[in-house]
Copies of this chain bind each other. A is one copy, B any other.
Amino acid sequence: MAPSKQTGTAQAEPSPWRSPAQRGHDRALKREAVLKAAARLFNEKGFHATSLDDVARQLNVTKPTLYHYFRSKDDVLFECCRMGLEMIEAAAAPVPGSRASGLERLRALMEKYAEAMTMDFGMSITRTPDTALSPENRAELRRLKSQIDQALRGVIASGIDDGSIAPCDVRTAAFTIAGALNAIAHWYKPGGPLSPAEIAHQTADFLIQGLAPRTPERRQPKR
């Protein structure tokens, strides 16, 4: 990823030494590279089956190097999950001054949530046993998850209020929706027949429409 020095044919000849600002930036990049590699391996082989040596090898460094960027293994996992949760939380943030109905806002949220679940950081949220984390980290993740849950419930409730969503038990609805969306992390495979966007759309559709036909007595013509 980092541009390798091409000696000889240089023009403008960029200095091989990074500027102080660059140096700090590099650190952030490396930190994130560790997270990305770790998340991928954790999702692929499982957290416990992945050693820090594995992660380090993937990045062409050695294990102690990782400790320059993270306190501990579960800190790495924690940051992966936090990344994923923040993506979702961003999607859950209410757009100020939007005139969208509750259902429309919920659909948007569900689709972004679903897409996050096809990405490494999103996957790590659900493919990882939270029992692997230290109590503090676990508590923090629970807090973030709970925040998302609350946002989700809020949107559902507002949809029920404005009539765009059928009255239902908000708590159960939120759990069911989150469960269905989280599950994507378990069955999505990059090579599959559906793109993330298609999965997101179909899943949201399904949750909105439900199984029962709109006209229970007659068979739906097709769409």
Contacts and interface: CB of A to CB of B under 8 A. Distances in A.
A129 B127 CA distance: 8
Interface string A128-160: 010110000000000000000000000010010
Given A183-B183, A211-B165, A132 B46 contact: yes
Interface residues of A, number: 54
B131 A206 contact: no
A93 interface: no
A94 interface: no
A9 interface: no
Interface string A168-194: 110011011111111110110000001
Interface stretch (A27-35, A58-66, A215-223): A215-223
A208 interface: yes
Copies in the complex: 2
10 contacts: A49-B131, A156-B211, A163-B219, A163-B220, A166-B214, A166-B220, A168-B209, A176-B183, A178-B183, A183-B183
Interface of A: 45-49, 103, 106, 127, 129, 131-132, 156, 159, 163-169, 172-173, 175-184, 186-187, 194, 199, 202-203, 205-214, 216, 218-220, 222-223
